[in-house]
Amino acid sequence: MIDIGGGSLELGIGMDEEPDVAISLNLGAGRITRDLLPGDPPSAEDVKRARKFVRAEIAAAARPIIKHPDANRVVGTSKTLRSLARICGAAPSKEGDYVTRILERECLTAEMDRLASMTVAQRAKLSGVSAARAPQLLGGAIVAEAAMDILGVDSLEICPWAMREGMILRLLDHLDD
């Protein structure tokens, strides 16, 4: 599981509701944008530096997940990942929550230079990208690409819900206790 929030990146792996391994890193899309990607658009050097930093942070922490037995299904649970999947051709939200949406690493990698060269206003005009999400989309793309590459994930399925909804479901599960 990969969840890119505004302030953190959450990685988890396991077979059931409780992950066997869960890792939280201060690599959220908003944090990366604020701390490492000044300018609109950011300079090529800043993008390169951000990509290098993110890759190093994930590589240093991801060993427990990499060493875990192979995952047969990888799920992404964030609006950032949903927006990136839309850029790569996934179905729009109007087609419903239960339409399978996939983010392919190959497509994401191919889009990186284009996203990096765009202003926030240009990113906001992309299909599936809201004006609120556009400022941190490049930061999220850098995190997503690095996580997918380091973890050996060629594609991930976009979950229509994110961590917030999971917390609500967990609370509902415990109401009967």
pLDDT in tens, 128-175: 999 999 999 999 999 999 999 999 999 999 987 766 777 787 788 777
Please answer whether residues 156 and 102 qualify as being in contact, where contact means their C-beta atoms are separated by less than 8 angstroms.
yes
Using alpha carbons, select from 170, 151, 133, 171 the residue that is nearest to residue 1.
151
pLDDT tens for residues 89-106?
A: 998 888 887 889 999 999
Q: How far apart are CA 76 and CA 104, in angstroms?
A: 11
29-36 helix and 44-61 helix, angle to the nearest 10 degrees: 130
Q: What is the largest CA-CA distance in the chain?
A: 54
The predicted pLDDT at position 176 comes to 67
Give the HSE-up count for residue 63: Cα atoms under 13 Å, Cβ half-sphere.
3
Where are the alpha helices (H) located in the chain, listed in sequence order? 29-36, 44-61, 63-66, 79-87, 105-117, 120-124, 134-151, 163-174
Write down the architecture of domain 2-174 according to CATH. Answer: 2-Layer Sandwich (3.30)
Average model confidence (pLDDT) across the chain:
92
DSSP reduced 3-state for 10: strand
Q: Name the token pair of 66.
A: 């990499």
Q: How far apart are CA 85 and CA 62, in angstroms?
A: 23
Predicted structure pTM score? 0.91
C-alpha angle 60-49-150 in degrees, rounded to nearest 5: 35
Domain boundaries of the chain, sorted by first residue: 2-174
Please answer whether residues 90 and 104 qualify as being in contact, where contact means their C-beta atoms are separated by less than 8 angstroms.
no
